[in-house]
Structure 1
């Protein structure tokens, strides 16, 4: 692993400044959120434990909110929109309370909440903030409504759905810096990295950061748990322009491939094989995957290996977290029986 020193130093400074003063960094020695690497029981296979950063915030959300610290501090009010079960809005509700910011939520009216599990947490968290509900028919007006709400409010931070914003870009790039430091310290040189994708924001940030700071970046395998290949590539092109606007560097994309999830390809689909995989990994390895993202990541990785064989060199799987998703289904978690 060989660094492009100038680019690495510049991105380190940008991410460090973005995360400075975040309550998520209080008491931490590092300059950005850090999670450990775990060696798995296959030769050359490792997993990045971003799931251990937080329970209610997945790893990508934790990094995103840490990097939003300066934008939050420059605002008194926050407006954002998303589904009634948005993990980003759940985290934002938590952070707004912790940082003493008023929050207006624009929520998509869809399937009614259930009276058990994670739905109780969404209802409870959102009840502490102002809510505006839109039908699916009116949902395209959410951004317009957010801007209208912000008018006359003074210092207001508007965060698009999922927090996909240039203001949040530095946070997810901390994953690449964290991983690079650990790899150098342990003498590892990952040639392939597997990461899941919902909005695509974290995977796109990883592709750009590793492509820019490394002279010979690894191949990034992106498992699309939502969206299509074309959507991801368009998002990556947009992230590239946003990164150039934030930091004048020779930004480059690492090589990558997009894969449709091998099982449960439709977003939110949770076939029996997904729950079996969660139970098996938890029982045999002590890893708690989730049914929306990480179980599908693992299944797709294994299907790819079965079809194409073991890859040379070391491989890393990013465990993004999302454990809370396990508790949003009346019939979901099972005991693995072999």
Structure 2
């Protein structure tokens, strides 16, 4: 087995993120005891789950002698924001290639560059953090292909680029959540939390896959339920399994059982980043009961899934559920019309 402390790593957060009980929300829903893991409070600009992944990815980039980062995502990508922030901390150049969102009912929002029409949310932060370039492409563009083209161009100019995949979700990035699983188990023991289930947003799969592998390596059988933010269960679960398997191989761990992977696809609505009534209700409920802001793309939809699972009787009053807040709140301010 490869020990995590043997893998190169940077540090962007001072200590573990908080694990907090949500007593008012739990009482409001009348179901299990709900706790929240505050990964919205991770380091780098405005925090979020990608920071854990970047600690390993940036260390790998630096070990390879990189002077430039290239990454991809949506126009409101939390991952792009945090990659750019890490680049600023490390003194690296950073280029972003992003695609516009879909509009209502899956329609395009307009020509490349038209979304967002104003500098809002994460897109504003790309500018404030001084991205070396931001290329906006139409929805469905080959982002990774464009990233490789840019990397070749920069190499020809004498630069040493390092390309990070969408969401930082590869075996190196997933190590951030292998480590988080151990952190959480220590917090559970310290707080006397007998967790029956962990519920997390599931998008590019790095967070969920890392948690599954980390719990498996620690001998824990706590299930991790992913609430998909962009795909059906049939489409998402093979992606999670693939990253679980490749991360376990990277760490030279025994294979992880297939039934450790669950990605529920009933709550993403008509597409990635498109609002749903359940998301709006969940964001309002968390804010009203606990003073906690969720984002509309990831945690809002995951919380909507959690609320529905509670209301449908998936959990009893004897259960304890830990919800992971993956951050992304800047995106809330780019999608205010969903709450109008």
TM-score band by shorter chain is 0.7 to 0.9
Shift in CA distance, 164/332, structure 1 to aligned 2, threshold 3 Å: same
Which of 9, 31, 36 is 2:18 aligned to?
36
Alignment partners' CA distance in 2, 1:314 and 1:49? 16
3-state SS of the aligned residue for 1:169?
Answer: helix
Matches within 5 A, 1:180-191: 180-191=185-196
Of the three residues 238, 243, 246, the one matched with 1:239 is: 243
Instruction: Show the counterpart of 2:253.
Output: 249
State the 1:134 CA deviation.
Answer: 4.3
Residue 40 of structure 2 corresponds to residue 51 of structure 1: yes
Deviation at 1:231, TM superposition (A): 3.4
Root-mean-square deviation (CA), in Å? 2.8
Equivalence map 1:127-146=2 (5 Å) = 128-136=131-139, 139=142, 141-146=145-150
For residues 160 and 249 of structure 2, the distance between their equivalents in structure 1, rounded to whole angstroms, comes to: 22
**Unpaired runs of at least 5, structure 2:** 27-31, 100-111
Deviation at 1:174, TM superposition (A): 2.2
* 2:321 paired with 1:324: no
Structure 2 CA distance for partners of 1:125 and 1:234, relative to 1, 3 Å? farther
Cross-structure match for 1:98: 89
CA distance in 1, matches of 2:245, 2:117: 41
- After superposition, the Cα gap between the structure-2 partners of 1:92 and 1:287, relative to the gap in structure 1 and judged at 3 Å, is same
1:77 corresponds to which of 59, 68, 79: 68
Q: Residues 166 and 127 (structure 1 numbering): CA distance in 2 closer, same or farther, change over 3 Å?
A: same
CA contact (8 A) 2:173 2:206 kept: no
Question: In the comparison of the two structures, how many residue pairs are matched?
Answer: 315
2:5 to 4, 13, 29: 13
CA distance change for structure 1 residues 62 and 282 in 2, over 3 Å: closer, same or farther? Answer: same
TM-score for the superposition, normalised by structure 1? 0.81
Q: Distance in 2 between matches of 1:227 and 1:281?
A: 24
CA–CA distance in structure 2, aligned partners of residues 185 and 226 of structure 1: 35
